[in-house]
Chain A
């Protein structure tokens, strides 16, 4: 149980286009999902906290108009990278919090590798 999927697993796009990444919790509901970005050989940087039915909370330095997050249901959050540029090329990982009382464990998706040409 506790599986999180991401789609697509990789995407290559031209500079200036927008890319949507989906994060789904397959066998549990998640009121909260998190989006991270990871550059090569670096750690995960939290970008934003996505709450079902409300606006996402962005970390300092993350442009909310560039990285649009929608958490439309308890099993789906989407991250749209708008007007992507080569510097947005990165590994994007989501995680889902089942919100259980006795655990703080998040479940991570397999990641999406974005390459902007």
Chain B
């Protein structure tokens, strides 16, 4: 079963704008990860944040994690047309290695 939900389901912005995607989950986690998937392709790992971390940066990406609210957000700053893709959060359990994926947000960045 799917762990959580993401919102918005779809997001359309202009190049240069920031994009924010949110993810909520239901159970205790060890870590939360964000992935990107271009249409019909495999997944690209973007960033991992552990349950004892609150914020993490990687280039134009900023991820926050609020374990009390069981939620995370992914911010892409200064978006580019090449950022157009689907973005998924995935939560990792402590001892199984399994990843449970959220429903995903489809981002369109217009040039």
Contacts and interface: CB of A to CB of B under 8 A. Distances in A.
Interface residues of A, number: 25
Interface residues of B, number: 24
Nearest to A41: B106
A25 interface: no
Interface stretch (B12-20, B58-66, B94-102): B94-102
Contact of B104 (A6, A43, A113): A43
Nearest to B43: A108
Nearest to A108: B43
Contacts of A32: 97
Contacts of B31: 104
B42 A93 contact: yes
A49 B43 contact: no
Contacts, number: 59
B33 interface: yes
A109 B42 CA distance: 6
B25 interface: no
Contacts of A103: 48
A97 B100 contact: no
B84 interface: no
Interface of B: 1-2, 30-31, 33, 35, 40-45, 48, 88, 92, 96-104
27 contacts: A34-B99, A43-B101, A43-B104, A44-B43, A44-B101, A46-B98, A46-B99, A49-B97, A103-B48, A104-B31, A104-B33, A104-B48, A104-B92, A104-B97, A105-B33, A105-B48, A106-B45, A106-B99, A108-B35, A108-B42, A108-B44, A108-B45, A109-B42, A110-B41, A110-B42, A111-B40, A111-B42
